[in-house]
Amino acid sequence: MASCINGGELHVRVVHRRLVQASDESLHPHVLAVSNLDLLPQTIQVSMFCIYPKLNTSGGGFHDVVAAFAAGLPSLLNHFFPLAGRIRVSPCSGLPEIHCYNQGAELVVGEADVALASLDYGTVGASVGKILLPYAGDVALSVQVVSFACGGFTVAWGTNHVVVDGSALSRLVSAWSELARSGTLSPGSWPNHDRSVFRPRAPPSYGASLDEAFTPLDGERQVNVLTRDESFVDVRLYYIEAADIARLREQARATRVQAVSAYLWKALATVVGARDARCRMVWWVDGRRRLTSSSQELRAAMRNYVGNVTTFALAEATVEEIQRKPLAEVASMARDAITAPAYDEHFQELVDWMEVHKAGKQRYIDTASIGLGSPAVSVTAFASFEVDTDFGYGHAAMALPTSSSSARLCTGFVQIAARPGGGDGSWFASAILWPRLAAALESDERLGRIFKPVTADYVGNVVTFTLAEATVEEPLPGGGVHGARRDHRAGKLVAETWTRWRNTRASSSARHVEAATVRLGSPTVTVSAFSSFRLDTDFGFGREAVPLCSGFVQIAARPCGDGSWLASAFVWRRRSNPTSSACSGLSRRSTLNCSITPSYR
């Protein structure tokens, strides 16, 4: 797989792809019929994408990460046995079903030749979308682990929406983390795959409003492809700081989701302006905690249910009303829309409605997503789900749900996910937006720009330095320079992540520099390899702002592509002599410029 990045190519090379089966031989092969609620969402591939910017070297290298998945996935599949199966279409009913014959989940190991920091995190297509590897449509689980040149790695948990919803996908990732750390899965975390808990009534019964809520998913009822493609920017990736969420909550006097929804609704109304009289908001709701009046059997089944238990709540109002009302009143409208339905009866009606409409191959979509009528923005709050991403190598810096749809939908869509680890309370948001709405969110200074584009620095993908020290007589530990890069445990090595160090000193007004650069101890030479980056030919090297006293060498690939390097070196005068055979054009000045041919690399 190759994708363009920063003018070059991002290559994700598949090192190996294998099938991993459940290890419990007592599990019996069977066919798992999906529930009527599983038939409501589109049969599309979905994933949870986790970014680990820096490998925790105390837990080993990337090969240890791969070994952990190879060793632990069989035990995980003992609990999530349907994910070791295949999604098939029943020849009798024409409906999807899961053949649980332990065919095996995919474990894909890949490597990328760039650093995570080189990705453009402002859009999903320029970051996450370049890393995800395709997998067959019938595969129930594809686990993809990819290493990067910076030492970080990513893990993608790919599956299908007919198998899981957002809550179930989050539960899968959390179960893996618990199992990998402790070697076992506590009974309270055991998943429930019994779809029979959602049974239709005889005869089925539902209100006429459901016929209006859903539309057949066929080409005649969708916008044309040019309208869809030209109406939206690429999937934007934002972060919302905890302080901004708290500020919105204070103004809205509401929950976090309601407060942010109210902010989005007012932004939408402002963008719509006089072009339409009305606008809408849609919220996707997890039913597990809202089925409070159902049978004890159903309530118990919902605790760890793996499957789809989602519906949507919709509210429509005039543009003038949303613009005029303060944030607190708009948040109250959102709260009323989300809490008003009698969810026990509503979900039963959904089951009954699908029982009547599932015959044949016709699929349905919620009408609001088609894009006809007043403009609408849908919100899915993954932030309500706790996702444990620490499987022994620290929490991911970002855990982002992703999906792909072949349907030509024309509505705004925002997915909100909490930053992993339960730390600072900030959120990530992936958003499909109209250009006007994206511009409005990114330029809104009234509340200090709530939606900020994600950067590599924010995710934690920043430049780090590794220090190796030895006596003059002995070679560098762990194989010299190669050991310093590859074996972070050998000799006197220090690896610092600048962002984490900086955050501990956020309250200080003093500026800091790494101690090795000032270097009051043994003489030091620092190497900065610009040859790892694909650069435009118009570049320069800046001067340091403080007087430093260490050697500094910057390396850049020659733009013509012949494999040679250029080096700008700030070195002691006597340091140039041993390198004269490798460098041309050396002088005895403090600043040297030289070229290095491929034979010396």
Q: Are residues 530 and 416 in the same domain?
A: no
pLDDT at 33: 95
Contact 271, 157 (CB under 8 A): no
Q: Are residues 556 and 413 in the same domain?
A: no
In a domain, 205, yes or no: no
In a domain, 474, yes or no: no
Q: Which of 459, 478, 504 is the last residue of a domain?
A: 459
Q: Are residues 451 and 530 in the same domain?
A: no
Total structural domains within the chain:
2
What single-letter DSSP state applies at residue 192?
B
Question: Which residues, 6+ apart, have CB-to-CB distance to 123 below 8 Å?
Answer: 233, 234, 235, 236, 237
Share of the chain above pLDDT 70, in %: 75
Q: Are residues 444 and 593 in the same domain?
A: no
In a domain, 140, yes or no: yes
Q: Are residues 553 and 424 in the same domain?
A: no
Q: How much is the average pLDDT of 10-28?
A: 94
In a domain, 491, yes or no: no
Q: Which of 434, 459, 484 is the last residue of a domain?
A: 459
In a domain, 503, yes or no: no
| Separation CA 72–CA 69 (nearest Å) | 5
Write the pLDDT tens digit of every residue in 188-242: 999 999 999 999 999 999 999 999 999 988 877 888 888 877 778 888 999 999 9
Q: Which of 459, 476, 497 is the last residue of a domain?
A: 459
Domain containing residue 560: 463-468+516-538+546-575+588-600
Q: In the predicted model, what is the mean pLDDT of the chain?
A: 81
Q: Is the pLDDT of residue 375 over 50?
A: yes
The amino acid occupying position 53 is P
Write the pLDDT tens digit of every residue in 274-288: 999 999 999 999 999
Q: Are residues 95 and 174 in the same domain?
A: yes
Q: Are residues 424 and 522 in the same domain?
A: no
Q: Are residues 432 and 564 in the same domain?
A: no
In a domain, 551, yes or no: yes
In a domain, 324, yes or no: yes
In a domain, 444, yes or no: yes
The CATH number of the domain where 406 resides is what?
A: 3.30.559.10
Q: Is the pLDDT of residue 24 over 50?
A: yes
Structure tokens at 442: 């990114």
What single-letter DSSP state applies at residue 283?
E
Q: Are residues 145 and 80 in the same domain?
A: yes
Q: Are residues 436 and 533 in the same domain?
A: no
Q: Are residues 358 and 425 in the same domain?
A: yes
Q: Are residues 563 and 415 in the same domain?
A: no
Question: Which residues, 6+ apart, have CB-to-CB distance to 55 below 8 Å?
Answer: 61, 62, 65, 151, 152, 153, 393
